[in-house]
Structure formats: structure tokens, C-alpha cells
Structure 1
Amino acid sequence: MRRSIWLAALALAAVLLFTPASATAQTLIYAQSGLPVTLDSASAQDGNSLRVAYQITEPLVGFEPGTANLAPALAERWAANADSTVWTFYLRRGVRFHDGTPFNAEAVKFNFERWDDPQHPYRGEGKGYAGFEYVFGGFKDENVLGEIEVVDEHTVRFHLTDSVGFFPAMVAAIYLQIDSPTAVMKDPDRYGTPEYGPVGTGPFTFERWIIGDRVILRRNDDYWGQKAKVDGIVFRGIPEPTSRLAELRAGAVHIAVELSPEDYPVLQREANLEPVLQKGLNIGYVAFHQAHEPLDDLRVRQAIAMAIDKQAIVDAFYAGLGSAADQFVPPAMWGRSEGVTDPSYDPAQARRLLAEAGYPNGFETEFWYMPVSRPYFPAPQPIAEAIASYLADVGIRVRLQTEDWGTYLSDYLRGKFPMYMLGWSPDYPDPDNYLFTFFGPRAPQSLGWDAPQVRSLLMQARTAPLPEERAALYAQVQEAVREDLAMIPFAHNNPLHATLRGVEGWVPSPLGSSENLNYVSVPR
């Protein structure tokens, strides 16, 4: 009882710290698995950063709340030429950034060129813009973007180097949020940090980021769209799902996301809580970096895949809310292959493959697991321990390792990890966002795997005019990836969240972090 009172007092203190003295002040307190790494959205790679940024800055194209259907955001409408090589976006009028400067076509051009050009004067020291690279497949002169033309104050035109029929979906990617050029130019290195938060057009403004504790946002009363129903939001980073649930039970937070699946029946019985299941389009995977021997040997990778009983692990840790994955595009998405079969659990065959590869007694390596729970891996450390146990049964001795989340996201791209866990919640509802992201131009860096034929198929799929042509090409990609076992698709999940009873208007996005929290109200 004393703990509950203490936690509730902390929540009240957070509200009093944030809001003015007002009997009607309402603050939404949102518990996620970690605090942001950065609030410069294009340089973010994790959902905890992007969810917060999405409340402050906005893309040209958004999604209908709770769906993967495209909807107008900062662009009211868009149109293409006959072969989809030129896309024109018609921008909202009268929109201003939080610093009072106008949102216009010049601002759009500034942002896209900043992300696209490694030599841009306002890019910011050390900012890599991996999300932009994921979406477009490279930077200036290496991707599909050509000229960005300012037609007039409220019209911007993208000239592409090839046909892309789903370009508006690409532009809707959560990384591509439009920042105030004036704010960026003041200090591009520190923009989006705790010392210098982001400046956008969204329903909330950046107020304060207390390192290691919380991020505080305030309602934007001049917002062009649906005004927020709360005075502000406090985002708290609470790494353990059990701790997030405890805070929710104590009334210290209103929303707790990415809870342990086994808590679902418990939540259904608790009168003061509402369980919320999110439609899952995610994928968790186990990846190899083939610069680390003996993971460059296909037989070794096959042995690892056969040594792990994925279904048993999903049964143990996903409590009926997840499913074992056999491809990198989830079952609800088109672009899968009927010809792909998942490696069966077969430890005896795994040992034979290791012996053929010259490792009859197995080998040692490192296996890195994520330090935070994510939708696709609700319990990373226990899942990693289970995988390690299965590998040990065939003689593969792994040293389990982890590190700070921000560092983890940088180090996997540097090839530091021989084996590692990671996953993906899509940025836009298209197979391209999975397969091009995983196996496109970044694959040599993130996987130590260079497959020009796969990249060629992916580029053909981007520019193919008909959906059925694209689907056939993506099926070929899935088959090539399975044959070479570049990564192991592990699990899909329907993430479990919960709210206090009385919280209304919150519908989690099937795309992960693209949430519209201005529609949420909390009980008084």
C-alpha cells in the first residue's frame, strides 16, 4: 500500500512540475520501454524516439489513426505524372512551426536535402540518417530522388530518377518528419537533444527532457488540426515490462505499452485496467554478421537455424499472442512466397552440418540481445537465454552480451555483433519496407552479406508498374534470402498494452510508433 501511495505521489508531482496551477490541467503519462535516443526523427532508429518525435513534428503524409491507410498530414493531397516519376504535393496553408516561422515548400525542400546530402551544411555532426537511407536506399546521387522543386509557396515537386508508384507511402515513413529550418540552422549538431529539443508543427511542443527520467511535452494551442485533449504528455522510460505494469496498477501512468504477453489474462480480470492488443505487422529476427567466422559458412548458419525450436520459444514467451515467423514479410502482408519452407527443428542434423563445416565439437561466439523490450521481442533476455540453451545442445557456446540501446543500434550497423537479435515495425505498409530495409544497400554493412542479385530484384520491384509483378519479385527475394539464410525470421507478435480505465481515444498503430496522441483523453 505504501508503495502504491508513493508511486501515485510521484505521478502527481510530475503533473504539478509540468502544468500550471489549474484545476482543469490534465497530463497524459505514457510509459514505454525507454527514453528517446534522439528527437531529430530522421536520425532516430528506435520506436521510443520516434513515438515522442511524432507528437512534435509531422510528415507530409500520415495514416488514419489505428490503421495503415494513408491520409493527408502536412500535405493535403498529391498527384503523379503518367509514369510515376514526378510527384507533386500540395501543402496545407496557414501552418506555422512552433517557433512561429512558416511551413512551406522551401521548408520541405530544406529537410529532404538535409537528409539526402552528406555534405549539407546543416546536416549535423555525427548524424547518420539511417531511416532515410532505409527508405530511399542511399543518399544523394545513389537513390531514386532527383531534383526537389519549389513550384510555389504551397507546392513542392519531387523529380525521381525512376518510376515509383508507392512514393507517397515512402514519404509517410515515420523518420521523414518536417523540422523547422530556422531551428535546425541555429544548432544542427545539438538539434533533437535534451539541450535543444525539436521544433515542428505537431499537436504538442517540446518542453523538457530530463535525462534518465522523462520527456515532457505541452499542448500546441495553435495546432492546425485536432487540438490535443490533454494539456501535455509525460513520456517515461521504464525498461522492464513488469515495472511498467506495476506503475500502471499504482495509477502512476495512464498508458503502459509492450507488456509481457503472459499478463493478458491477468489484465482481463483487473477492474481498473483495460488491456489493448495491437495488430502486429512486426517481425523479430536473429541476424548474423558474416565477417565473423564461422558464420560466413552456410552450413553453420543452417545448423544454427535447425538447433533452435522457435515454436517452443514462441509458446513459452508470447503466451498465445505471437507466432513463429517463416518469412520476413508477415502473413497479413502481400509479397510472400509459397515456395519458402522454414528450417525444421532438427538438432541431430544441426550437429551433422557443424561436423561437415569442420566444427564437430561446436564453437564459441557472442550473441547480443536487446536491452529493451520491443513489440517483436517482449522479453529479450529470457528469449536470448532460451536460444543460447538450444545452441548449447549442439555444441555452440554463446556468450550473451548487451549494451545501451542507442549504442546497440549503432554497433550492429558497424558489424560489431557476430549474432544479434533485432526486429522491425514497418514505416509504411509495403513489402519494400521490410525487404529493401533488410537486404538492400545496407546488407553488406549490417549483415556482412553482399548479394547483388537480391539488390537487383529489390530495385526492379520498386519500379515495376503492376502489383502482381512486384509480388512475384518479392517472392524471389524471399526465396533467395532463405536459400542463403542471411538471417533467421523468428516471430511476429500482437503486442500487449494496457491503460487505466477511463483513458479514451487511444488506438495503437499497427505500424508501431505512428501514434496520434492528440486524440487521447485521461480521467479527471
Structure 2
Amino acid sequence: MAVKKRAAGLVAAAAALALGLSACSSSTTGGSDSGEGGALSVGTTDKVTVLDPAGSYDNGSFFVMQQVFPFLMEYKPGTSEIREGIAESADFVKPNEYEVKLKKDLKFANGNDLTASDVKFSFERQTKIQDPNGPASLLTAIESIDTPDDHTVVFKLNRENDQTFPLVLAGPAGPVVDEDVFAADAITKDDEIVKGKAFAGPYEISTYKFNELVTYKKYDGYNGGGDEAKSAEVQMKYYSDANNMKLDVEKGSIDVAYRSLSPTDIADLEGKDNLTVHKGPGGEIRYIVFNFDTMPHGAKSENPDEKKALAIRQAMASSIDRAAIAKDVYKDTYQPLYSYVPEGMQGANESLKGLYGDKQGGADADAAKKFLEDAGVETPVNIKLQYNPDHYGPSSGDEYAAVKKQLEDTDLFKVDLQSTEWVQYAKDRSNDVYPMYQLGWFPDYSDGDNYLVPFFYNTEEEPAFLANHFQDDSINKKLLEQVSQPDAGKREKLISDIQDDLAKQLPTLPLLQGNQIAVADKNVKGVDETLDPSFQFRLSMLSK
């Protein structure tokens, strides 16, 4: 198969070369007869680990992959809805079989045919390599992969009607790679990937300096689910200092600054006439975890009392002003989060809003006091609250100082606020050291399931990530039901109902949802359209 592909690729490459010579001259002027935009420049402080999808599972690396690799499934711009990418069709043909039919005449930028063999190769090599920095853990649902012909791929899964599987195909584990360029059992070097032109996304990489500069060139053979790239060329500049990126976008040396400027820098740039600060829904969430064993009146505390422990959680939920923290600490680069699934996701609601505080999203000390009085809790309640100063950003100290002040201003709580560096923090929080503590989360894929199952599906066989001793058989059952529920409306209701159940018990206290932020020259178009709930920044949608 590989020999035939290579032969076909050589013929196609020769033809492409003849066409490309004239195309190059027309694109150097910044446009073409088709109206596509000229060169665009974008800055970031994110870093690339490797270009090989099997060896990286981070924002910086996946950003590049989104631009240059093809995906079987993609997110529809402006939504968190999934659609076909290079797939012509994709669906369950049996409860445990997900069949993908590829579009005809797919090719990589090097001229090689893109077939079912490449798809099978792409996923099997990830599970074979099992790189500790890679996303192979997202592919545990796959039992085997069959390719009946060059255009058909059948994934045999270990869970019936798994509604998250199409989302996995659109995420960090989803890039389809060229089996003639990538190694089957080892990470392929960046330079080999670039030299091999193993790309079939909206762009291909024309020049590459690791974590310094990447030049993207529009790939004319792109045949994914989206439109062709609106800019003929994009230069991506990598910064080690966000201050330098801020200065460059301010003076027009780059057109767009994306990830990550400080809240103070963003607030400053909002006042510049030549710039627009674009904000979109973000997938990152920040929250407090309650350890059901060691929190005040927890199951293994000196005075265990389930009702009193719940009342303390309810009183805390009524005392915290999320909007004030978002504004004062994060300059509105975060927004209040009133439930467990963030805004923009299927099934998202605001389940905490109507239960706690002033029932409009604000704090209410009287409501907090009533929860404690009704349960017979003596005040002030002594709380030990832990946060991390290095893993969740430099503003974590200010964030949790604000939480402490808000709680103590009610005269209902006395807060012992402590911090621990991440390496020790990660060990301590799962070993019952902290009664209450800070965590954050960025999703593996854009779906409510990823904000629920890892945290709250808790059994002896499959312990939850939180390790906070919260377990509810009814919630476990609903979590399993929603994964396999093919009816979108019924699944959305299940996800909403699960959040309502959680809001009554408060195993965690959601605080903030991060906005996606991009600062761009006022002449740049398409930024708002790509800052959507898929959390994928598409260079192909930008132009000037």
C-alpha cells in the first residue's frame, strides 16, 4: 500500500510543482484573484512540545496540529457541535461499531493519497507508542480498527453508543498522519514532518523554527469540513515574554496576540484605538474541592455530621461573590461560573444560581447564616483552605485572598489560607491533606461529559479524579446513561439533571470560567468567529 501511495504522490507532486510556480508569484502581493487575504502575523507565548500528535498533549502543540493536520471530525465554527471533517459520513452502524466513510481523492500536501490505511495507522501508532506526553489515554474506548477498503474505517468500541467518541476524533488524539512519513513505533522529529510535507489541513508549514517562528502557507488541496483558508500566509511568532508580545501588537508589529496576556495588559490594550480585544467562551474552569472526609464535620473529622457539613458548603456557596473576583482579580478575563458544565456546552445550566446567595448570582450573608443556623452549626466556622501559586497562574494568590475576605466579611467563617507548590500539592490533595482546596480544569474535548465523569463518577473500580470521597450511586448511573444516550435532547436533559443533583450536594464549588482572549488590529476579520465553545483557534478564519 505504501509503495503505491508513494508512486501516486510523485506524479501529483510534479503536477503541483508546475502549478505552484505561477501561484507563488501571485500570492506575494498579499492576495489573489480569488480574494484571499495576504500574510497575517500572530503572536503567542504558548510553546510547542513536538509536532507529532502521538507525543504531545498540550495547548501549544495542538494549536499547530489544528492548522495543518486533517481530522475525521471537526467542530462547527461558532458552536460545540461536531460535524464531518475529511469524513464523508460517520455514524454508529452497530452499538459498538463506529463507521467512517472518507471523502474521495484525499491527498496530503506531498501528493500522497490519504486513505483508510493512514487513519488506522494514525490511531494504532498512538496506542502502540504510549508516549507519556501524548493523548493515547483518550483512545481507551477503541478495541480494534478495521479497514474494509481504502475509504472505510470501522472503529470497534468497548462501550455501546459512546457519544463522546466522535468528539475524541476532533481533539488532540484525532489528527490523521501520513504513514509514509511518520514512524509506526516512535515519535517522528519535527524537521522530518515538515520536510515530508505530511499535511492536509487548511495550511501546510513552509518554514519552521522551533518555538521561534512558523510560517503557514495555504494548502490548496484541503478538503475538510470547513472553508478554505482566508489568508494565503500566516506567520506565527513565539514569545518568551508576554510583555514583548503586548508591545508588538500595540505598535502593529503583529496583527493578533493570542495566549497569553496578563489581565492587566488586556485591560490596558482595551483602551487602544487601533486594537480590538476579542472575548469568547472558554473551557477552563476554576473551583474549590471539598473533601467529604476531612472538611469540618466531614465523615472522618472529630465531629462528623453530614447535615452540618452540607450546611457549611451551602453557606460558602452563598457567601462568595464570583462577579467581584472576576472583575477585581481577573479584569473580566474570567466570568462567573454557576454550575459544573461551563456556558456554551450542551446541557449547561446555572444550577447553583437559584439555590444559593441572593438567588441571582450574588452573595447573601443572611442566606449563608440561615443555612448554618438551621443545621445547628456554631460560628465562626474554622476553615483550612489551600491553593496553589504556580500551576494555576500568578493571580491565584489574589483570587484566594478575595475568597478568604468574602467569607470572613460575613462573620460566619475564620479562614486559614495556605499555599503549596504544585509537585507537593498534587500529592497532598489526593491524600486527604487538604479539607478544602483549589483546582482548575481544561477539557480534553468540548462536551459536558468531560466536566462530569472525571470528577464525579466514582466507584471502587474506577475512582474519581478528585479523590474527595464523594460518591452517589444515582449520579453514577446517570453519568453512564448520558454517555450512551444517542438522542441529543434526552442526553442534554441528563447532563442538566446531573448538575442539578450536584448543586444540591456541592462536592465542589464552581467559581469561574475562563474567557478566550485575543487582541487584534481593528482591520483583522474573523477573530470573533473562531473564539467559540470548541476552544479551537482557527487561523484559517482570519484575514485582513
User: TM range, normalised to the smaller chain?
Assistant: 0.7 to 0.9
Q: Does the 8 A contact of 1:35 with 1:215 survive in 2?
A: no
* 2:384 corresponds to: 363
* 2:250 corresponds to: 249
Deviation, structure 1 residue 460: 0.9
Letter in 2 for 1:424: F
Q: Percent identity?
A: 19
Letter in 2 for 1:132: L
Moved more, 66-75 or 47-56: 66-75
- The structure-2 alpha-carbon separation of the partners of 1:267 and 1:219, relative to structure 1 and needing over 3 Å to count, comes to same
Deviation, structure 1 residue 401: 4.8
Moved more, 447-456 or 88-97: 447-456
Q: Does the 8 A contact of 1:42 with 1:177 survive in 2?
A: no
Query: Is there any run of 5+ residues in structure 2 with no aligned partner, and where?
Result: 1-23, 31-37, 300-305, 358-362
Q: Does the 8 A contact of 2:69 with 2:176 survive in 1?
A: yes
- The structure-2 alpha-carbon separation of the partners of 1:493 and 1:111, relative to structure 1 and needing over 3 Å to count, comes to same
- The structure-2 alpha-carbon separation of the partners of 1:40 and 1:221, relative to structure 1 and needing over 3 Å to count, comes to closer
Letter in 1 for 2:476: R
- The structure-2 alpha-carbon separation of the partners of 1:44 and 1:54, relative to structure 1 and needing over 3 Å to count, comes to same
- The structure-2 alpha-carbon separation of the partners of 1:455 and 1:200, relative to structure 1 and needing over 3 Å to count, comes to farther
Q: 1:151 aligns with which of 143, 148, 152?
A: 148
Higher relative contact order, chain-length normalized (CA < 8 Å, sep 6+): 1
SS of residue paired to 2:183: helix
Give me the whole-angstrom Cα distance separating, in 2, the residues matched to 1:69 and 1:360: 44
Give me the whole-angstrom Cα distance separating, in 2, the residues matched to 1:235 and 1:449: 45
Q: Does the 8 A contact of 1:337 with 1:476 survive in 2?
A: no
Give me the whole-angstrom Cα distance separating, in 2, the residues matched to 1:227 and 1:205: 13
Letter in 2 for 1:444: A
Counterpart check, 1:86 vs 2:97: yes
Counterpart check, 1:132 vs 2:138: yes
Counterpart check, 1:486 vs 2:507: yes
Give me the whole-angstrom Cα distance separating, in 2, the residues matched to 1:263 and 1:271: 15
Q: Does the 8 A contact of 2:42 with 2:235 survive in 1?
A: yes
Q: 2:440 aligns with which of 415, 422, 427?
A: 422
Q: 1:234 aligns with which of 226, 233, 236?
A: 236
Q: 1:63 aligns with which of 59, 72, 75?
A: 75
- The structure-2 alpha-carbon separation of the partners of 1:229 and 1:316, relative to structure 1 and needing over 3 Å to count, comes to same
Greater radius of gyration (CA): 2
SS of residue paired to 1:231: strand
- The structure-2 alpha-carbon separation of the partners of 1:427 and 1:363, relative to structure 1 and needing over 3 Å to count, comes to closer
Give me the whole-angstrom Cα distance separating, in 2, the residues matched to 1:487 and 1:45: 26
Counterpart check, 1:439 vs 2:440: no
How many corresponding residue pairs? 474
Give me the whole-angstrom Cα distance separating, in 1, the residues matched to 2:372 and 2:174: 46
Give me the whole-angstrom Cα distance separating, in 1, the residues matched to 2:53 and 2:486: 31
- The one-character-per-residue Cα deviations of 1:28-84 (angstroms, maximum 9, x if unpaired) are 332334323454446655433322221122321113344434343221322443x65
Deviation, structure 1 residue 422: 1.5
- The structure-2 alpha-carbon separation of the partners of 1:354 and 1:177, relative to structure 1 and needing over 3 Å to count, comes to farther
Give me the whole-angstrom Cα distance separating, in 2, the residues matched to 1:381 and 1:431: 29
What pairs with 1:389-400 in structure 2 (closer than 5 Å)? 389-390=405-406, 394-400=413-419
SS of residue paired to 1:156: strand
CA-based RMSD of the aligned residues comes to 4.6
Give me the whole-angstrom Cα distance separating, in 2, the residues matched to 1:106 and 1:357: 66
* 1:54 corresponds to: 66
SS of residue paired to 1:432: helix
Deviation, structure 1 residue 499: 0.9
Give me the whole-angstrom Cα distance separating, in 1, the residues matched to 2:192 and 2:370: 55
- The structure-2 alpha-carbon separation of the partners of 1:461 and 1:55, relative to structure 1 and needing over 3 Å to count, comes to same
Query: Is there any run of 5+ residues in structure 1 with no aligned partner, and where?
Result: 1-18, 134-138, 374-378
Q: 1:327 aligns with which of 328, 334, 339?
A: 339
What pairs with 1:154-233 in structure 2 (closer than 5 Å)? 154-160=151-157, 161-164=159-162, 167-185=165-183, 188=186, 190-191=187-188, 199-202=198-201, 203-205=203-205, 207-210=207-210, 214-219=212-217, 221=219, 223-225=221-223, 226=228, 229-233=231-235
What pairs with 1:24-63 in structure 2 (closer than 5 Å)? 24=29, 27-41=39-53, 44-63=56-75
- The structure-2 alpha-carbon separation of the partners of 1:412 and 1:158, relative to structure 1 and needing over 3 Å to count, comes to farther
Counterpart check, 1:312 vs 2:314: no
Q: Structure 2 length as normaliser, TM-score? A: 0.70
- The structure-2 alpha-carbon separation of the partners of 1:386 and 1:359, relative to structure 1 and needing over 3 Å to count, comes to closer
Give me the whole-angstrom Cα distance separating, in 2, the residues matched to 1:86 and 1:238: 45
* 1:75 corresponds to: 87
Counterpart check, 1:110 vs 2:127: no
Counterpart check, 1:520 vs 2:542: yes
SS of residue paired to 2:171: coil
Letter in 2 for 1:467: A
Give me the whole-angstrom Cα distance separating, in 2, the residues matched to 1:31 and 1:171: 28
Q: Does the 8 A contact of 2:200 with 2:221 survive in 1?
A: yes
Give me the whole-angstrom Cα distance separating, in 1, the residues matched to 2:513 and 2:491: 23
